[in-house]
Amino acid sequence: MPGKNSFLNIVKDLEKQQENQGYLILVRCGAFFVAIGANAVILSNELGLNTICMVKGICKIGIPLNSLYDYIKRLEQLKYSFVIYNYSKDEMIDNGKKYAEMYRNKGKCVNKSQILITCENCEKYKRTYDNVTIFEELKRLQKLKEEQKHEQKQ
């Protein structure tokens, strides 16, 4: 399983490939098929999926493996071009690629350059990165827990 940064690089490389121009891209990552950046924003808007901050400034959505078929049908009904990749150790051995194309639907071209990703206005971004008080609260709770353990030992 690739780490966060290597996953980002893999998806960016897939987006640059000529055959993926104008396609929404989903890549399997563990028990989910994941889209990032403009792909995530489009899928969130069209399918009602919740975005999360993958890293500061980059949105992510995940579709559980067991729900993929339903989302494929919805994307086909919306007539979007999309491609789904699956992590494949066999592909790495045979072709030197980490991801194998699993499914491709040719529909209307997706213009990702028109997607405005304004993280500063995103409520999830604000909760994740502007509100550091939750981390302070967790530290305080941890310290309280340690003090209680210490008192119980005495």
pLDDT attached to residue 127: 62
pLDDT at 54: 78
C-alpha neighbours within 13 Å on the C-beta side of residue 102: 15
Tokens of 90: 């066999």
Residues 102 and 90: their CA atoms lie apart, in Å, by 13
Position of tokens 């941890």? 142
7 CB contacts (<8 Å, ≥6 apart)? 27, 29, 34
Angstrom distance (rounded) from CA 36 to CA 53: 9
The ranges assigned to domains in the chain are 4-113, 118-154
Q: What is the pLDDT of residues 86-110, one digit of tens each?
A: 877 776 667 777 788 889 999 999 8
* 8 Å CB contact between 83 and 24: yes
- As its CATH architecture, domain 4-113 has 3-Layer(aba) Sandwich (3.40)
| CB-CB neighbours of 103 under 10 Å | 13
Low-confidence stretches of the chain (pLDDT beneath 50) = 1
pTM above 0.75, yes or no: no
